Structure 1
């Protein structure tokens, strides 16, 4: 059976005559007759009793069965067409892997705009601090470094700064050597933090790590409490404070690079593509 045949069956049953069904569908009456004949051939029997003259046609018992199920198929086809159109317009679901800085600073603006444009969009965020990210099972994934075996775009360079209690250092840059032997609060030695600590070692600087936490706010809170200094990417400093100061280091550490990646050779949905566009715009404003 063809969906066009079922639509013709539905129109004839609703209108009562082939002529009125033709007007409703925009066909000629002969085209309607051909559609009904093709349907009857497919189901192996007559679907209409044709009394002739001005009297309306009536469904046969077989026609009633075909119409009942046919209307279900037509409704499903219409729902599928509607879902495809909404998908193309940017609705649907998108799964995004993220981490703290992106969650706190970049994604709020992106999510807000997506939901403004497409209120029915289904956005799922998965936050994990990991040394080896994977785009498998996700539409998009943010990471502070390149992702292996994935297509990706660089979002921004995020410079590192020294965070200290205000007045602990004079205004302006601080020598990297000032960290030697200094008590420091730090992230776990994964992701880009491991690279930062290799820079310390290569420069002969050996700070005393007194606390590690993956919570950016926890790092800042312990610096404020006087537990130690911290070297953090600027994007992680989402807490304004009058009792803390941020200093450039000399020599400066190479900034961490934040990428947005997706599975290689995979076609992205319009919604995922829009997330990439909005992420670039948001990052450019930073």
Structure 2
């Protein structure tokens, strides 16, 4: 077994394919394949199930990746034993939901880049449940999560609480109280399944036996807001994402009984992951940002 084979394995998992790993590493696809074949020969079992273009780790593959992660982390520790002039180098992979990316992360990344110009940053926009899964599998280093239930395998730091609001045009202000036997004559415009605050609102509707007339799934918060502002329906979003539109009287908050509690916002990393100088500095910059924002 060679160290580079473990690096290739990690890259395949991050990119989701042999082709993506080859492009990122500057290898031919045949070289990537040969690395994995050699590793499988060393292990004595297949590491991936090949299903068309998609690759999925086998049970053995998951165990191999656990050991590979430890080895690669130890290598990274050795790289950081002698930081020249205290300079922080390396790489950090961040997972964040769209609301975090658009309304907070730009300022955090700007400050971090000023303080750590030689750290490579990768940013992945995914929903909060997927962020937690990728933290557990070590596909990302840190993740921002608007989520209520966190895994025991993830070490978390609470940053803030985000208010959640039901919004629509002013003429829809009383729409939530105008129902016929639980039928809500409104279109609920929402984002993808798995989003934590969408799940919260759908659970609320279910508990109260309320059924919207229609549901529309869109790909981004900006798309949801634009459709709500044209009168197509209502949306349930973190207040920070609609604050400006509310201040400009383009949207209003629609009142409803027993409003849903604010959603905790965490930053987290795997509990067993080595916190490199690059990650530690990112955590510090993030906490400083939210100390300023909250206070």
Q: Verify same fold: TM over 0.5.
A: yes
The alignment's C-alpha RMSD in Å is 3.0
CA deviations 1:65-88 (Å, max 9, x no partner) are xxxxxxxxxxxxxxx999831595
Shift in alpha-carbon separation, 1:111–1:87, aligned structure 2, 3 A: farther
Aligned to 1:85: 83
Q: Is the 8 A contact 2:88 2:118 kept in 1?
A: no
Shift in alpha-carbon separation, 1:247–1:161, aligned structure 2, 3 A: same
Structure 1: where are the runs of 5+ without partners?
Answer: 1-79
| TM-score computed with the length of structure 2 as normaliser | 0.61
1:180 aligns with 2:188: no
Residue 264 (structure 1) shift = 1.6
1:138 aligns with 2:140: yes
- 2:121 aligns to what SS in structure 1? strand
1:268 aligns with 2:266: no
Provide the C-alpha distance between the structure 2 equivalents of 1:238 and 1:144, rounded to a whole number of angstroms: 18
- 1:195 aligns to what SS in structure 2? helix
- 2:112 aligns to what SS in structure 1? helix
Q: Is the 8 A contact 2:97 2:128 kept in 1?
A: no
Shift in alpha-carbon separation, 1:137–1:161, aligned structure 2, 3 A: same
| TM-score computed with the length of structure 1 as normaliser | 0.62
Aligned to 2:223: 218
Residue 119 (structure 1) shift = 2.0
Residue 155 (structure 1) shift = 1.9
- 1:183 aligns to what SS in structure 2? strand
Shift in alpha-carbon separation, 1:83–1:113, aligned structure 2, 3 A: farther
Provide the C-alpha distance between the structure 1 equivalents of 2:189 and 2:290, rounded to a whole number of angstroms: 27
Q: Is the 8 A contact 2:146 2:266 kept in 1?
A: yes
- 2:103 aligns to what SS in structure 1? helix
Q: Is the 8 A contact 2:173 2:255 kept in 1?
A: no
Aligned to 1:198: 203
- 2:211 aligns to what SS in structure 1? coil
Provide the C-alpha distance between the structure 2 equivalents of 1:232 and 1:176, rounded to a whole number of angstroms: 21
Q: Highest CA radius of gyration, 1 or 2?
A: 1
Provide the C-alpha distance between the structure 2 equivalents of 1:147 and 1:176, rounded to a whole number of angstroms: 37
Aligned to 2:67: none
Shift in alpha-carbon separation, 1:131–1:266, aligned structure 2, 3 A: closer
Q: Is the 8 A contact 2:187 2:233 kept in 1?
A: yes
Aligned to 1:127: 125
The answer to which of 92-101 and 138-147 deviates more is 138-147
- 1:180 aligns to what SS in structure 2? strand
Matches within 5 A, 1:3-14: none
Aligned to 2:96: 98
How many correspondences in the alignment? 205
Which residue, out of 242, 250, 257, partners 1:237? 242
CA deviations 1:222-253 (Å, max 9, x no partner) are 10111001111113337635422234543111
Aligned to 1:20: none
CA deviations 1:43-62 (Å, max 9, x no partner) are xxxxxxxxxxxxxxxxxxxx
